[in-house]
């Protein structure tokens, strides 16, 4: 299996521009998570999906952020308009719920976003 695939790996954009991050989870996994990591705040859960359905988006910072999962093999995280404080590494992770609720995540390599 190729693992969780994210694109782009690096993105540099100017404030106000739209940013779209993409994720292909591991085939057969039923959970997909979007995280953001910064030095100041660590790893923050933004939103997660179960069987393509958004379950909890309470971690999404504000209305500028949106996420979709149109099918089991693809998800997007969109920021519009982007701001410098959105600069971070965005990780996508997927998992298959195990026994007794064990939820072991496999992460993608991350998308490093810089907003100027």
Partner 1 sequence: RKEVEQDPGPFNVPEGATVAFNCTYSNSASQSFFWYRQDCRKEPKLLMSVYSSGNEDGRFTAQLNRASQYISLLIRDSKLSDSATYLCVVNGGGGSYIPTFGRGTSLIVHP
Per CB under 8 A, residues contacting partner 1 are 35, 42-43, 45, 48, 56, 91, 97, 100-110
Neighbours of 18 (CB within 10 A): 11
- Compute CA 72 distance to the chain's CA centroid, rounded to the nearest angstrom: 14
State the minimum distance, in angstroms, from the CB of residue 106 to partner 1.
Answer: 8
Tell me if the bond preceding 8 is cis, omega within 30° of 0. yes
Residue 59 or 81: which CB sits closer to partner 1? Answer: 59
Tell me if the bond preceding 81 is cis, omega within 30° of 0. yes
Residue 9 or 17: which CB sits closer to partner 1? Answer: 9
State the minimum distance, in angstroms, from the CB of residue 80 to partner 1.
Answer: 25
């Amino acid at each position: 299996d190729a693992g969780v695939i994210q694109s782009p790996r690096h993105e540099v954009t100017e404030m106000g521009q739209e940013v779209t991050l993409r994720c292909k989870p591991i085939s057969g996994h039923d959970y997909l998570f979007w995280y953001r990591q910064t030095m100041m705040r660590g790893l923050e859960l933004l939103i997660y999906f179960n069987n393509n359905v958004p379950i909890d988006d309470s971690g999404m910072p504000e209305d500028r952020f949106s996420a979709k999962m149109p099918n089991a093999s693809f998800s997007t995280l969109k920021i519009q308009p982007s701001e410098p404080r959105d600069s971070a590494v965005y990780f996508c992770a997927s998992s298959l719920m195990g026994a007794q609720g064990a939820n072991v995540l496999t992460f993608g390599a991350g998308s490093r976003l810089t907003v100027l």
